[in-house]
Structure 1
């Protein structure tokens, strides 16, 4: 942008003006589009030189990040990578640095049936006569997403059934992969027809998890893991991955971390992200499968639910959708209560009866009608559930 400055002069007692041209830094969408085209081509070609050549001179941190992205492209078998400039974000700084929203697509071949799509904030900076890429992501994690594969070189563990990518060590990736491998047969014991591959992403921190999912800071701070869409696409083939919060799972014992992973794999197996199932049934069923073969006493598996009931009294009704908000009070107690309700259904109708009820709700049938037709009205489930909670307080 060129700005004309007006300079007042005095000549023969009269005022005159003389315009002077001053060059002000401005965004260059055309140059940004060209840099992004080189970036996408470099990722598709797994070309380290092309990608590191997009880093600003004397910026080893960005160069390492872009080199790591080239490594990720190979280890994750990234495909269908595109990067389209959309619009400028904010203003251009005095040194010519600015940010833009970029629509990106990507897919992990062999695991994602269709590409993910998301808006990513990319930083651009002048590098002599060229425009360089200065990084990914907005300030405070509130602008767009930062896909995990853009954070630099990741540790990767893969097999025919699963792909694990971790912003951490190879040992951490292997540990997570072992949990996935142990969790798959846990799920297929109850859901034998499931055979879909699984992708698990583990950012370095809870705040990075929020950025990976494009969520407000703090959204997933207290959540051990979540199964979610990778980007903004919601179609039947849009990728759905498991995302792990290491700040929570690292504090769990081995058995607890395994239950978390098995729980999330149930969500993958039942396509829970795209199916409108009653939240208590959704979460309770996942915990029922994950805990099915454990030998823990109720005082352990229902410990937080018991604590909440002692403090506030036995709830009048099963947990609602609001109770499962990631920042809700006593969230873990609500999960335990949901599991207890599903266990009661399995005790009264048998495990296949519980699966049948879940599958009916999964197909869109009213849950109350499903239970009624099975001979176990929802009111009876709630009554038995309250009685069992009350008995645990004695």
Structure 2
């Protein structure tokens, strides 16, 4: 493989000076060597395994890997991203890198994602200058310095000045609250707190502002629906910081329910049940008035009457104007089911539907009535509460 193209330019009759022009293959070789060093250093959790001039970002990634106990890290150069390279300063280039990693003790398997790495040439080696962008997912631990808190049940990482200890306290409370309702679950809680909502968009490869109104989202690390993919809770710090203490705790517990129940990959479960059940667990031991927990949907009922159907999937879209009311309506439906039968009946219904049973059939099996009867009872409950 040709590494460089060398042209000899005659300056005079007695001297020649080589001029080196990088080719894509030369850049690939340099980047691959830098990635191999990074992979070795992360695997050993030892900065000394890096090139002496590897750069601050590579050193930060190794430090994060030590704190987070990163395992199974691989980084394979796939191809240069010519479109992104064209936007970079001279001497830098962007590449798609096939990457795997997991947080030992928390993730059951490695996450697998194509990640953008940006390199710059310095002498005879490449330096990692940035990670992220290009419409690809951005592992936060590779992109910026982090503060880390861990317990046996929860791992929290926070960028910038985000209060990692506050998130860790909320995680501990959430683990206890969810444990009162659900049987032991496999996937432990991993909370990822970016520095800003813009950084959250980069982490999730989301359109700008997609999560601007959302305090947190639980999803697979790689964006897939594979049941084996690690699932983390990703926080929008700008929304989360505006919540009161109880509100922040409800959000954290709600998201942990999604982790514990595998909701991120539960394509069979209607969103009213998925979200309503998570809120049922999150609000179960919280003393808040209905004016707070159901104020939006009850205002709608007073104005327009009770809705004629349970919230549909599109009513949970992050850009809908009545998102809060949809969550509240779903919560009241699940609360009604727990009161009509028992908490264990609600959990059984959730499990049956998650396993693929149609909602109507599962309702009939657990409660002795179908979806039409549930809607009628739910509407009457909304009207009663709205008086």
Please give the TM-score of this superposition, normalised by the length of structure 1: 0.86
CA shift digits 1:164-207 (9 cap, x unpaired): 1111348x111111111111121111113336422111111111
Partner of 1:35: 34
Partner of 1:385: 378
Q: CA deviation at 1:52?
A: 6.8
CA distance in 2, matches of 1:244, 1:98: 30
Partner of 1:164: 156
Whether the aligned pair in 2 keeps the contact of 1:179 and 1:261 (CA below 8 Å) is yes
1:278 aligns with 2:296: no
Whether the aligned pair in 2 keeps the contact of 1:64 and 1:152 (CA below 8 Å) is no
- Structure 1 gaps of 5+ residues are 5-21, 56-62
Q: CA deviation at 1:54?
A: 5.2
Partner of 1:116: 111
CA distance in 2, matches of 1:114, 1:345: 35
Q: CA deviation at 1:29?
A: 1.8
Question: Match of 1:146, SS?
Answer: coil
Q: CA deviation at 1:106?
A: 0.6
The structure-2 alpha-carbon separation of the partners of 1:362 and 1:45, relative to structure 1 and needing over 3 Å to count, comes to same
1:104 aligns with 2:87: no
Question: Match of 2:172, SS?
Answer: helix
CA distance in 1, matches of 2:189, 2:51: 31
Aligned length: 367
1:204 aligns with 2:195: yes
1:292 aligns with 2:291: no
Whether the aligned pair in 2 keeps the contact of 1:52 and 1:66 (CA below 8 Å) is no
Matches within 5 A, 1:227-238: 227-232=218-223, 234-238=225-229
Question: Match of 2:77, SS?
Answer: strand
CA distance in 2, matches of 1:381, 1:230: 35
Q: CA deviation at 1:98?
A: 1.4
Whether the aligned pair in 1 keeps the contact of 2:178 and 2:256 (CA below 8 Å) is yes
Please give the TM-score of this superposition, normalised by the length of structure 2: 0.88
Q: CA deviation at 1:285?
A: 0.4
CA distance in 2, matches of 1:376, 1:348: 11
Partner of 2:313: 321
Q: CA deviation at 1:86?
A: 0.9
CA distance in 2, matches of 1:111, 1:356: 27
Out of 335, 353, 362, the position equivalent to 2:345 is: 353
Q: CA deviation at 1:97?
A: 1.6
CA distance in 2, matches of 1:103, 1:113: 20
CA distance in 2, matches of 1:304, 1:64: 48
Matches within 5 A, 1:185-200: 185-194=176-185, 196-200=187-191
Moved more, 161-170 or 118-127: 161-170
- Structure 2 gaps of 5+ residues are 8-18
Question: Match of 2:78, SS?
Answer: strand
Out of 134, 153, 177, the position equivalent to 2:129 is: 134
CA distance in 1, matches of 2:67, 2:164: 13
The structure-2 alpha-carbon separation of the partners of 1:45 and 1:282, relative to structure 1 and needing over 3 Å to count, comes to same
- Give the root-mean-square deviation of aligned CA atoms: 2.4
CA distance in 2, matches of 1:189, 1:273: 21
Question: Match of 1:178, SS?
Answer: helix
Question: Match of 1:131, SS?
Answer: strand
Q: CA deviation at 1:389?
A: 2.4
The structure-2 alpha-carbon separation of the partners of 1:90 and 1:309, relative to structure 1 and needing over 3 Å to count, comes to farther
Out of 261, 265, 280, the position equivalent to 2:252 is: 261
Whether the aligned pair in 2 keeps the contact of 1:35 and 1:54 (CA below 8 Å) is no
The structure-2 alpha-carbon separation of the partners of 1:291 and 1:34, relative to structure 1 and needing over 3 Å to count, comes to same
CA shift digits 1:107-143 (9 cap, x unpaired): 11111121111111111222123322221122xxx52
Question: Match of 1:133, SS?
Answer: strand
Out of 293, 308, 331, the position equivalent to 1:301 is: 293
